[in-house]
Amino acid sequence: MEAKAPRFPLLRIMFGNASLMSALYLSAAVLSEVARRTWGTRWSERASLAFESLPARALELVGLLAPLRRQYAYGALSEVWVRVIFGLTSVAIIFAMAAAVGAGMWALRVLWERKTGLSG
């Protein structure tokens, strides 16, 4: 009887990685925004735009950027809420990417276990 392959807690690793990446991404975005507002340098403006492009493109892809832009333009939505929506969108994207990577790793593990005969 062959030894069973050690199991890695993929869901826990995936959740931890997504949380860490979200925290790092949002921290860097906040720092670039603070730098943009404080010093207004060219690099800080470019960095701020780069951080905003990911959630803006995702919201545009699902058809929510235009209504969000209208609400902001008409004063129905403050800049703080736009930032919150962009931040939540970024976190959702990072978690979706982590889920996709985790699902791929799970599938590879299942295939490897079947090929080597190590499944339960």
Q: What does the block give as tokens for 92?
A: 């959702």
Q: Which is nearest to 90 in space by CA: 37, 42, 19, 32?
A: 19
- What's CA 4's distance to the chain center, in Å? 34
The residue type found at 22 is S
Helices (H), ranges, 1-120: 10-38, 42-61, 65-73, 79-116
DSSP 8-state symbol, 75: T
- Hey, how many other C-beta atoms are within 10 angstroms of the C-beta on 47? 18
| pTM reported for the whole predicted model | 0.84
Q: Are 98 and 14 in contact (CB under 8 A)?
A: yes
- What's CA 64's distance to the chain center, in Å? 18
Quick: pLDDT tens for 29-62.
999 999 999 999 999 999 999 999 999 999 999 9
Quick: pLDDT tens for 77-103.
999 999 999 999 999 999 999 999 989
Q: Which residues lie below 8 Å from residue 18, measured CB to CB, with a gap of 6+? A: 94, 95, 97, 98, 99
